[in-house]
Structure 1
Amino acid sequence: MRLLVRERLFAVGDDYWIEDADGRKIFLVDGKALRLRDTFELKDTDGRVLVGIRRKLISLRDTMVVQRDGEELATVRRKRLSLLRNHYRVTLVDGTGLDVSGKILDREFAVDYDGELLAQVSRRWLTVRDTYGIDIVREDADVPLLVAVAVCVIALADKEKEEEED
């Protein structure tokens, strides 16, 4: 499944649509404005919340939490001892983990589980500015979770870059 993400920079609340390859709206990333911490909801076209995403206020490293139906599903954080700055770890509630690595700020990275590619995020096959694709490789993958992981990793990397520039 190939998804197209059109980020609108400087949008109030950071809302943007994710479309399928045919241009149909599939998910809305609904950023919640005026919150103390970064908070997003991934909604379907009917407005139902599929997953919630929020930044933890107190943690040693920047961490985002993905929730489904009010229950924690996963945590996303930059790997502690990574030689590569663009390497993130997703810990699922069942104890398993996903690895995210690549050029996050360039929107060129992969999500894998135990060496198996689950999703690829890329701008390479697109020519539109501020747009990237999410290619979900496995048909049995949890698509909302993988989209949420991409949103979390990009939000964490962008925040880290902003802090370095200040």
Structure 2
Amino acid sequence: MIPTTLAERLERLRADAPGLRAYALVDGLQYEQHFGRSLRRRWGTVHTLFAGTEDEPLASAGPWLVDIAQPDADVVASLDELETARPGVMWLFSTQDIESLVRTLQRKLNSKLPNGKIALLRFWDPRVFVPLFNALDTERRRAYFGDVDEWHGLADGKRFHVSHHA
């Protein structure tokens, strides 16, 4: 389940934004390596961000969005364990429904490099998220991360969060 400190934070934020929802952004490869099974799509609850993209054949290893309010007991119960063991979970708070948030996050998957090539940007991995955030100026941070109310993760054993309110 969602870590207690994050659940408390979510409840405080819901006082001003009652429609705020909690999601987990899960690295499919980390999940599979840790638990020995792949995530499976469940309509309205568990979605792969690679669906409908050129990377769809790699969907099981890519990022997955899990709606915590409509939990799949097998998946949600294991997320706290996965986050502690591997860099495989980010927690998102958003007013968007899961389908809208999937589309929002899909637009972040690829980034154009200065040489014109396209690169997959692993923003769902805390090891990438933190350096990416730190590399951007305030305007670019807002542009890239601002369409999600809050991002939470664990990097090097320390909890971090990015809020569009701050």
- For normalisation by structure 2, the TM-score amounts to 0.29
Larger helix fraction of residues: 2
Larger strand fraction of residues: 1
- For normalisation by structure 1, the TM-score amounts to 0.29
* Structure with bigger RCO (C-alpha 8 Å, 6+ apart): 2
